[in-house]
Amino acid sequence: MQLEEAIQGRRSIGRVKNDPVPREAIEKLLDAAVWAPNHFNTQPWKFIVMTGEGRSALGNGYAKVAAAQLPELSGEELEERLAKERTKAYRSPVVIAAVCSPSEDPRAVLAEELAAAHCAVQNLLLAAHANGLGAVWRSGDPMYHPAMKEAFDLSEAERLVGLIFIGYPDMTAPAAKRTPASEKTVWLEQ
């Protein structure tokens, strides 16, 4: 697959089969991720790969966030809601928590460290597509809650930048629409 084809053909694939994905395939995606550009070669990323019951860390994180946000619920109603939140972690056979782990290099700028971690996620998504896997990058309020940070035992400086759900596609990729680059570009010339 040519680079432009991978870039233009990649889609968020939110429905995947439960079939296991070989560890070697996931390692290949991670190897692509670490080649992302980063200032001063700080390599400010780390990845937490969850498979099988390892996904319970994420499920428990979702449940703790929901419990903190729903103090009015209790008893059976609360337990049902927490059980529903836990199932979110099992939407794919592999979930990777992408983390920005900022460097202590005094030249490092947090915004640039975050950008580099996001670039690593893009590399991972492109590699998944090029290798026949479906993937979707999820985020949202629960990911930024302190309870989720605690679920992954992250340091004070570390931040989740994405939850990537990966598996073999169980859907047809949606058609893509993009505004042409020419409509989003300003040229400054002499």
For the stretch 29-72, pLDDT in tens is 999 999 999 999 999 999 999 999 999 999 999 999 999 988 88
pLDDT score for 36:
98
Q: Which of 127, 100, 124 is nearest to 114 (CA)?
A: 100
Q: Which residues on neighbouring strands pair with residue 49, listed in sequence order?
A: 96
d(CA 156, CA 180): 40
Residue 169 tokens, joined = 């596609």
- Helix 75-87 and helix 56-69, axial crossing angle in degrees, nearest 10: 140
- CATH of 3-52+93-171 among 3.40.109.10, 3.30.379.10, 3.40.50.720, 3.40.462.20: 3.40.109.10
| Domain residue ranges in the chain | 3-52+93-171
d(CA 139, CA 19): 24
Q: Name the DSSP letter for residue 139.
A: -
pTM of the entire structure? 0.94
Type of residue found at 121? V
pLDDT score for 102:
97
Mean pLDDT of the chain: 95
pLDDT score for 104:
95
Pick out the chain residues at pLDDT < 50: none
